[in-house]
Amino acid sequence: METIDFKKLSQQLRVELSRVNNWRKIVRALSIVVYLFVFCWFMFVLFGGFLAGRVGWENYSVITQYIFPVFMGFVVLSFAFSRSLVKFQEQENDIMRNIMSSMFPSVCFDFASQLDYKILSGSKLFNTSFSDPALGTTTYGYLEILRGEQTFYVADIGVSYGLMNKLALNSVTGYFVMIYRYVLRPLFASRFESSAHNFRGMFGWCRLEKAFKGSIIILPDHLEQKVGYLAQNIQGLKKRYNARFMHLEDLDFEKYFSVYADDEVAARMLLTPAMMRHITRLRETFGHDMMLSFNKNTFYYAAAMPDGFLCLRKQALDNEHLLEQIYHEINLSCHVADELKLN
């Protein structure tokens, strides 16, 4: 494989990278202003009556005189924000196409394909309860890798699921979930378009020649002790799939992962000492918490990346290290099955 000169590639893309970075800053600044205004407007609608009682109706009427000009200013800012966002996304997509064609010329890459719900559901990594609403999924980028007779798929996805989805459907709590997801979270999210998701990051899958009996689910070990992403859904996952916790003898593996399976014999046949070493080495090389599952003849894997997977990072865009990071993560994601010696 030809060695990539990341410094030369970075210099070739320097102008485009700087332009995207500038648009990112503009979008971020406008998003903070717009979403703060929306939050203040919600508070005014909810507590306007209380404010009138505190300041008196005469003073309150003076305050309301400024609502129209302020609202018109908000309309202008919202328009500027939406146009800046479209411009940023177009330029980011264009430069990612250039980067992908330079670093992975044999990989099919696009932003239009959407992940099939059945594939995500089949992974059993997200839907944790029969009572949960359907998974909400957005695909931000899609890779298709042809290697011999096999096809590997890796996507940049956002997934919403679990309690938040359930509360969003309630006529009372749905209003507050909307404020949280679409007003408060965008102020602090790494990428504001990910604010509605419980999970944003890499998700990959491939068909294997060997079929597995039952389901084997491998999750980051600390999720059971940590309140937050997926942790509170572990019990639901066990109940839904009749998955039982398995104690394995590899201390290095169990430092990173917990294993749940509905067929312990099949799980132990798969998770040999050599396989556990491969998974541990993959986790250390990847540098992110990973989730893996085996269901029938398909292998699934995912890793949380709040900054997005198939997109530019928010760090400085004027050096080759950014491109090296992107190359490392995409290349490793495309070769997970090979790293685990599954083929």
pLDDT at 134: 65
pLDDT at 52: 61
CA proximity to 336, closest of 256, 281, 282: 282
| Mean pLDDT value across residues 140-152 | 83
- Percent share of the chain, pLDDT over 70: 81
Residue 100 CA to chain centroid, in angstroms? Answer: 20
Q: Tell me: the pLDDT tens digits for 8-21?
A: 888 888 888 888 88
CA proximity to 322, closest of 334, 331, 313, 333: 313
**Confidence category of residue 155, pLDDT binned at 50, 70, 90:** very high
Assigned token pair, 282: 């993959």
Q: Tell me: the pLDDT tens digits for 267-320?
A: 888 899 999 999 999 988 888 888 999 988 899 999 988 888 888 876 655 566
Assigned token pair, 34: 């717009």
**Confidence category of residue 130, pLDDT binned at 50, 70, 90:** very low
Which parts of 56-116 fold into alpha helices (H)? 57-64, 67-103
| Mean pLDDT value across residues 156-177 | 77
pLDDT at 315: 61
Task: Quote the CA–CA distance of 217 and 52 in Å, as a whole number.
Answer: 56
**Confidence category of residue 329, pLDDT binned at 50, 70, 90:** confident
Q: What is the DSSP letter of 3?
A: P
**Confidence category of residue 133, pLDDT binned at 50, 70, 90:** low
Mean pLDDT, the chain, rounded, equals 79
Task: Quote the CA–CA distance of 53 and 209 in Å, as a whole number.
Answer: 71
Assigned token pair, 201: 């990051």
pLDDT at 62: 64
Q: Tell me: the pLDDT tens digits for 49-67?
A: 666 666 666 665 666 677 7
* pTM score of the predicted model: 0.79
pLDDT at 205: 93
pLDDT at 238: 54
Residue 125 class from Cβ within 10 Å (0-12 exposed, 13-18 middle, 19+ buried)?
buried
